[in-house]
Each structure stands twice: as structure tokens, then as C-alpha cells.
Structure 1
């Protein structure tokens, strides 16, 4: 059962945190109370706090536990599942000011950072040392490493190089439950490349969406910088399903691009109308592949990729010979979501299916859109089967909103039926709780709830998210 603040909790909390400033301005709290998920419920917080250190987080968590005040942690608020949305009477813990890169260890290829470090800022810092941090969600210019860890974020390069979990070696977190009193600080994981001492509690925290504690420091694995610029291969298709067949063909042929991304016509049109990058917008769908294998082997893979596109029905597929054009195309992929968001409310899907099922699920998305008479624009990390159908709905239109939400739920059902999952990288948060329960067998749900109750018996940390209340 979630913690319930006592009457006068805000005054009592301020007294216990004498010397630490709570934010209570109504407008500021409103801005800090939600992420970018459309139509996810948002509560009214008691206050917000912006810590600068683990010690401050520990002090605040201990006080909140004593007073029964739930703690909802947020970073940049770029999430798309409602995972950082406030609950009524909670304290919003904004970690954006814990934004220091504490160490870049070039001998051991690691970086240790606070959770508020922005993904692209870390990339730039390690690049100056000849190193590379691969996880690259489309929100990398704005999203924080803490938020990336909380949702196990992926991105364009995860097809070849893995997701955030593959790069987290260790972390520091403020917790409660069996670790001791709420406010206890623990370190999980290690700095070594291998280690199996005890259960993998570190892996449990990655992707836990702030429901087990507050992550205050992260040690990440780095890679040497890539030796050469990647080769870009572009394919244009006159229908979306043909593009899906091309994705399945790439997998079947054993090709290993660093990235394989899909944009449909609606996405291309929205980006070009906004940014005027000079990209084509007549194709029904476009596939963008990056090959970063150097030398002759990379050239051969690029040629095989273009041929796979053509064999699956591409009306045109070639290796790009213009670096500026290639950069514009991948910029279009990153800009697709904000470009569509300019047109009105966007309800974002995040299903992931076996790659052989990509054409099947793309066809299901088209059928769902037609039946509900909703406009759906699709982008995807197509190479790993992670599809992001974006449902566009006019503002202040209740019927359109109802149709959009029905289409959203049916796409979750379609993904599960294809052997997939309801979320590949955005997290369960609030929007995917029904879908998660449809996907996971009852005994597995019971195990997850048991873990939550063990690590957070007061249900203090981000209550109502992910496992939520099974009675809902």
C-alpha cells in the first residue's frame, strides 16, 4: 500500500530539512509533475526538491519515509510512459542538478557520472578522450543518464552495440527495505568487467523506473571511438509492408548494421515541413542503415544491404556518397517525434516484436489505423523490431482521443500476439500497465510484485508505476 502523507506533511518535511530549500511554487511544480507521455494521469505533488548530492537525497528520503510522503524521481522529463509523473501528495525529486561527470577512466574504459548528466554531454566528454558511449536514444540531446538507466533506454545503435543495461557496471542508490532504514546508501555492481558475486541486483535496478530507490551515481562501460565514419545505405519503398519485408530479409541474411531505422511518409513530411533538410518525402517508407565495419568488408556489407532492400521491393536503394545528405537523413530520424508533436497531441507506442514479425505487425498497425479512423505515423528501430507508431489526435476532440486510446491498446495486443512485448525501451510507467499484465503470466507478475514489496515495503518510491496496484 502506498505511503500516505499526514496532515501538515509539507510543514513537517520543511522542518526536518531545515537548510534545504523545498520548491512549492505552483507553476514550477506543474512543470515538474509530468513527463512527455500524452494523456497519462498526473497527480498534484506536495513539493519538489533539487538535490546536489547523495547525502541530500539520503536525508530527504529518510524524512519522507518518516512522514509517509511518496518520492517520485525525475530527470529531464523526456519519458514517454508517464513513469516520472507525480502522484498526489508526493515529493518530486528532480535530479537535474546532480549533473557532474565524476571520472573518465581511460585506463579501464569507464566513466562515473551523476544521474543528471545529459546523454550527449557524456558522449562529447568521452569523445575528447578518444572513447565512445554507444547508447543513443533519439532524446540523447536532452535525456539524462539517470533516466536512461531507469528505463533501460536503447536507441539507434542498440541493434549492434546493445542497450543501456549492457553498459552499466555499477551504481549507487538510496534505498530502504531490507538494506536498512529508508535513506540508506548502497553500491551495486562493480568496476570489473566480470563478476558473479551474489544475485544481479544491479541488473534489477536498471529498468526499474525509480520504483526500488533513487539512483545517485552510475559507472558506465565505454568503448574505443569508431575508427571510421559509417556508411549509410538508403532504401525507398512504395508501401510500408515492403519495408518491413526488407527488415526481415536483413536479419535472415545475417547482415549486422550498426543501425537500421524506418520512417514512413508522414514522418518524412513532418520533418521536411519543419526543418527543410532537403530530404525526399514522396516515398511511403524509407529505411536508413548504417554500416560501421571498416574497409572492404564494410563496403561488401553496404552493397549486400542495398541489394536486400531491392530484393524486398524497394523502388530505389543505394549507398549514400554524400556525407551531408547522410547526416540529414539521420537527423530526420531523430527529429521525427518533435516534428510530429508540433502538429498536435501524439500518443507514442513502443512495441517490440521478433524481426521476422515486423511486416506482420506493420500490416496490423495499418489495419488498426483504418478501422479506428486515426492517423498513425510510424518510426522504428526496425533492425531490432522496436516499432514506434505515433498516434496523432486533434486537440480538444474527445471522440478522437477515445479512438486514439483504443488504437493504442489494440497495438499492444497485436504485439503480444506476434510474440513481442508492449515496451522495448520507454518503460511501463502508467500507460503500459494493462499491456504488461496481458503480456506476463500471473506467476511472473506475482514475482515482480514480491520484489517491489521486499525492496520497498512502504511503497515509497514511485508508487503506482510499473507493477502498480494489481486490483486496478
Structure 2
């Protein structure tokens, strides 16, 4: 009996896809230049029990299983290895519970982030994590990478909202981790351990998420800057003033022009860099916070700064921030960074990114969750230009080294996947890397769960 025979025996036939044209489209995520292999089969289960059967079959036949959500990742974490089973949770789209009293939701991993937000809004509730891919990315993938987003500067990342989950382990067990209560410290926090593990420790089949009440309307403050370093100084100034906006985003002219050329949004911005802040403090205090942020922008050298009185214009600028990556992809392959540095180091880090781009003759466009120091330099290269690609890859490595030198980390929200494995090894001491390997060996003793990702073999 083969693995395919076993799968056909245990799960409905319509869950299996062998067409090479289809399986190839599921063999990688959006990470430019991250290597990937050819899957043996694509499986799209609809229940936790079907996921369990897939994992047990893979254990029996010693075949790797690579979990994936919507495939919007940018680190290669969902990339196939040759002969693996790609397990897509895209068909697991049930929101099984929204509890307005306990302020929680129970969802399958294939639920799209924005769909969950819309569903809980009908109950007067809000799910804060909002990656730029929120219209397409799924909760399972968000949990697996500990996704952040625009609101995380004030409201935290995905891990801050995961109460519990159901997981298929590397031994084929279907277990529940975490809790539903507001508090709970019984035993190790294994649910938190699974968050950000990128499918290397278990396959998530259900998530219990904490919700918040809906927010009051936000105010928007925009600042235009003639240099990216000045914009970085404004970010540091906001932090030094003790202000916590509900969003503080950076987008440069390269990104704005790419979005405008694609979507014809009329983004006539007379600036090389734009900072966008939002405040959701109600009443007069919110007005005061917006004015304080505007003052920080001006003191840091903004050529223009004001609170927006045109909500449509403000929304268009935030939409441009979310569309920047796909817009730049239209110009050529984009290698995306995801470093995070202390807020005080943002100006220096932006200066180093600018210098690295010049040194390697690489176009670097910049977007950032600037308020928490999470920077996304986007390295754009012409299609088919191998020399430009090599220069961009050298720039990529230097940006990582610069972030570490400034006390930062190699990934703020995209995950390690394949692209940041060397960076992780540089960031963590050998003893800590050994702890990671020990956890992996304990929870995935057969070594079948998303092998070759996050942590290199010793």
C-alpha cells in the first residue's frame, strides 16, 4: 500500500488533488527566491479529524507534511519539499462561535482575517490583528506566523489574542491547548508555543480568539518629509513623547507612485516620505493626542503636517500602504525584509537601509509599521537580471546584520521560514538554538512537520 492508497482509504476523494498544474500553484508562498520542491499531493481537508488522518498517514509512510493557509506568507514558510503532502486548510472556513459575553470567537484556520472582523463587528466586537494581507490571509496562517499589522503598535500582535487552539501533533494526536477563560496559568503555555511556530510543531485545526469592543472613530494625522531619516526622527519623537497612536505607518514615494500607477488613486503627494498616524482615543483627549503627534512631525522636520479633514483622502493613503507590496511586484521581483528595531533606533536603521541600497545599486522602497520599529524595506529588481538579483540578496543580508547590530530582530511578523534561517542563527545564542531543536524533537519526533524551516538541523 502507498501513501496515496492510505489517504484515499481514510479521507473523501474530493479532498485530494494530484494534477501537477494545481499542486505546483500550492508549492510556495509569496517569498521571492525562496526555494521550493514539488509536492506529491495536495490535500484540502475540511475537519480536524481529516487533518489528523493525513498526519497519521504521513507518519506511517515517513512523508513530510507542509501545512499552509492562503499562501500569502513572505518568508518561504509554506514552501513544499519534494515528495511532500501539502496540507491546505483553505476549506476549513467555519466560524463556529462568537460569544459577546466572553468576548471570544472560535474559528477554523481557513477563516479569512477580514471575514472574521466583519462577522464579529455585527456583535459590536473587534478583532485587532490586521496584517496588510488581511483581505486574503487566513487566521491559521496568521497564528502560525504570529502576524501583526497596522494596529499592533497599540493593540498587539496575533499572540496577544490567542486564548487556545486545537492542534494535530507530530505524533498524530488531536489535542486542545490553552483555555477559554479570561485568566489561566495551569501548566506550560503550549498554545503560545504554537503561535509563530510556522507549522513545525503541529497543524492548527481550530483557534479560540480574544475579542475587544468596537473602537470609536479614528482621527488621522499625515506628515510629509523630504528624507526618510527625518521621518524616522518623527517616529522616535512620537515614542519619546509617550504617545501611543492606534497606527503609525510609513510609506515612501516609490510605493505611492507604484500604487497610483496601478490603481489610479490620484495620490498627488508632494513628499518623498509620508507618515500616517491614527488616534482612537475618544473626545477631547483624542484631539489633544492628534495635535501632539502633529507637533512631533513638525519638530522632526516635516515639510507639512496636519490632521486630515478629508476621511476619503485619509483612507486612500492607508489603502495605498496596504497595496504597496503588490503594486511594486508589477515592477519586478520584490525581496521583502521584515526587520524590527527599537523605536529610538528607527532613524539610524532607515539611514543604514538607504546607504545599503546605494552601495548595492538596488532600488529599495520602504513601508513600515513605524510606530513599533517594524520596517519592511522592499528590494525591487528588474525581471531576468541575475546580477541585480545577486546585489539585492547581498543587500538583504546586510540589512539583517544592521538590524541585529542596533539591537533588533530579523523578523517582526513575517516569520523565519526559509529566508531568515541564517538570520535567526545569528540572532540567537547556540544554547537557545539547542532549546529550539529540543522542542522540535519532542513535539515532532518523526521529523515530518514542515521540515527544513525555521531551524537548521544541528
Q: TM-score range, shorter-chain basis?
A: over 0.9
In structure 2, the residue matched to 1:5 is none
Residue 329 of structure 1 deviates from its aligned partner by 1.0
Residue 395 of structure 1 deviates from its aligned partner by 1.1
Question: Is the 8 Å Cα contact of residues 46 and 91 (structure 1) preserved in structure 2?
Answer: yes
Q: Which residue among 349, 360, 366 is the counterpart of 1:361?
A: 349
Matches for 1:17-416 after TM superposition, within 5 Å: 17=10, 19-21=12-14, 22-176=16-170, 182-226=171-215, 228-416=216-404
How has the CA–CA distance of structure 1 residues 102 and 11 changed in structure 2, closer, same or farther, with 3 Å as cutoff? closer
Q: RMSD of the alignment, in Å?
A: 1.1
Question: Is the 8 Å Cα contact of residues 13 and 67 (structure 1) preserved in structure 2?
Answer: no
Residue 64 of structure 1 deviates from its aligned partner by 0.8
Residue 468 of structure 1 deviates from its aligned partner by 2.8
In structure 2, the residue matched to 1:447 is 435
In structure 2, the residue matched to 1:3 is none
Give the number of equivalent residue pairs.
Answer: 457
Question: Is the 8 Å Cα contact of residues 339 and 408 (structure 2) preserved in structure 1?
Answer: yes
Residue 17 of structure 1 deviates from its aligned partner by 3.1
Distance 1:19 1:210 in 2: 23
Larger deviation, residues 18-27 vs 398-407: 18-27
Question: Is the 8 Å Cα contact of residues 333 and 382 (structure 2) preserved in structure 1?
Answer: yes
Task: Tell me the TM-score normalised to structure 1 length.
Answer: 0.95
How has the CA–CA distance of structure 1 residues 141 and 18 changed in structure 2, closer, same or farther, with 3 Å as cutoff? closer
Distance 1:247 1:390 in 2: 19
Residue 15 of structure 1 deviates from its aligned partner by 5.1
Distance 1:270 1:9 in 2: 49
Query: 3-state DSSP class of the match of 1:332?
Result: helix
Residue by residue over 1:264-294, the C-alpha shift from the partner in whole angstroms, topping out at 9 and shown as x without a partner, is: 1101111111112222343110000000001
How has the CA–CA distance of structure 1 residues 18 and 360 changed in structure 2, closer, same or farther, with 3 Å as cutoff? closer
User: Which sections of structure 1, spanning at least 5 residues, go unmatched?
Assistant: 1-7, 177-181
Distance 1:106 1:18 in 2: 35
Query: 3-state DSSP class of the match of 2:296?
Result: helix
Larger deviation, residues 271-280 vs 350-359: 271-280
Residue by residue over 1:222-256, the C-alpha shift from the partner in whole angstroms, topping out at 9 and shown as x without a partner, is: 00111x21000000000100000000000000011
Residue 115 of structure 1 deviates from its aligned partner by 0.0
In structure 1, the residue matched to 2:453 is 465
Question: Is the 8 Å Cα contact of residues 13 and 64 (structure 1) preserved in structure 2?
Answer: no
Question: Is the 8 Å Cα contact of residues 11 and 50 (structure 2) preserved in structure 1?
Answer: no
Distance 1:82 1:64 in 2: 21
